[in-house]
Amino acid sequence: MKKILLTAVAVLAIVGCSQNEEIENVGQKAKIDVTTVVKGTTRAAVTSNDNFTAFTINGYTVAVADIASSGLGTAYMYKDYTGKKGSWATTGDDIYWPLDENMEFFAYPTELKANFQASGTGYPTFTYAIGAVGAQTDLVVAHKSVASVPTGGKLELTFKHILTRINFSYVPENAAYTYTVSNITINKVEGEDAIYTFAADDKGSWSAGSNKNVDYVYPVLKDPVAADGAYALDTQDGSLMLLPQSVASKTISVTYKTEKDGHTYFEGTKVVTLGESAKWDIGKNIRYKLTLPVGAEKVTVDTNVEDINETPESGSAK
């Protein structure tokens, strides 16, 4: 019986990507070579070719209908990949596709390997800690259910972002005044340790954070430039990568000053309350636009939500 070599294609979905690039690397024996392509933005914490350097794949032979009651069983494939775009490497024996068996594949950053757990029932999980501001990173994972051997024995994995990216802009009520925003704090939201659970829908879910009263201070750009009447306040390293959750009625504190002709018209902190349906969804890019009045009036807020998991870019490995 002819054996079919299991080959992998790693695809990373990054916001702002529109071009599909297919890289063919025809292999022979001994190893699975993996090539990935990532075209991200320049913001820190977003996964890119420069910082995506290791991932692990766990593969299981199991019927989808049995996962809820019996779990995944023993791993059929367990491989670490290291390197970078165009030069992925792994060790150990080749992996071949089993015939007429369903396979479930789960891929995640290798640094989380010790946190990955496949229990006796249900889909696997891993624990993850939301870092302090300035130390937060993007997080991508992949899940693929394969009912039959794909053409050419190629496994295609789509890595998806599973945190929520937060940024801020402000809109001056009166552009004739000089505004200086010195602090933005998101108050009392969930953070620190949480558990992510893979799911059949490829989206997965998060548990509540271990600390439900975390304040996150947003790194504010000191000299923002206006674009279409709004001033983006995100620094190059400043996007917050936070735990997806309901933020209904949560508050955001904004400290700013308004000046004109040597006079100060407001200097202090105002609090914005989010709506009753406010939510940070998995894989979303949220920008809060704060309309700041000249004086003591109330701050208003609007949001712009984009899907980080936009058009995937592909790279193949054989």
Q: Which domain holds residue 96?
A: 7-163+308-316
* Residue 206 confidence (pLDDT): 98
Q: Has residue 230 been placed in a domain?
A: yes
Cβ atoms of 143 and 105 within 8 Å: the answer is yes
Using CA atoms, how far residue 258 sits from 11, 172, 222, 270, 306, in Å, is: 47, 9, 14, 13, 31
Cβ–Cβ < 8 Å for 239, 46: yes
Residue 300 within any structural domain of the chain = yes
| Among candidate residues 238, 266, 240, 270, the one with its CA nearest the CA of residue 255 | 270
Q: Please count the structural domains in the chain.
A: 2
Co-location of 93 and 152 in the same domain: yes
Q: What is the number of other CB atoms lying within 10 angstroms of the CB of residue 188?
A: 15
Q: Do 113 and 254 fall within a single domain?
A: no
Based on the fold, state whether residues 133 and 194 are members of the same structural domain: no
b/e string for 235-269 if b means 16 or more Cβ within 10 A? beebbbbbbbbbbeebebbbebebeeeeeeebeee
- Residue in 243, 245, 182, 247 with CA at minimum distance from that of residue 217: 182
Question: Based on the domain organization, do 155 and 209 belong to the same domain?
Answer: no
- 291 in the same domain as 212: yes
pLDDT tens-digit profile of 34-54?
333 332 333 335 776 677 788
Strand 284-292 versus strand 164-172 pairing type: parallel
Residues of the chain below pLDDT 50: 13-44, 311-318
Residues constituting the chain? 318
CATH number of the domain to which 74 belongs: 2.60.40
Do both 64 and 188 map to the same domain?
no
Is 245:279 a contact under the CB 8 Å cutoff?
yes
Contact by Cβ (8 Å): 315, 10: yes
Query: Do residues 213 and 72 both lie within one domain?
Result: no
| Domain membership flag for residue 2 | no
- CATH number of the domain bearing residue 169: 2.60.40.2630
SS3 of 15-32? CCCCCCCCCCCCCCCCCC
Cα 62 vs. chain centroid, distance in angstroms?
28
Which residue's structure tokens are 């975390």?
Answer: 214
Does 202 lie in the same domain as 101? Answer: no
Rounded Cα distance, 122 and 144, in Å: 15
For residue 157, list its beta bridge partners: 10
Contact call for residues 38 and 52 (beta carbons, < 8 A): yes
Instruction: Return all residues near 194 (Cβ < 8 A) that are at least 6 apart.
Output: 127, 128, 129, 130, 206, 207, 208, 209, 210, 243
Q: Are 136 and 125 in contact (CB under 8 A)?
A: no
DSSP run (H or E) holding 254:
strand 251-260
Amino acid at 217: V
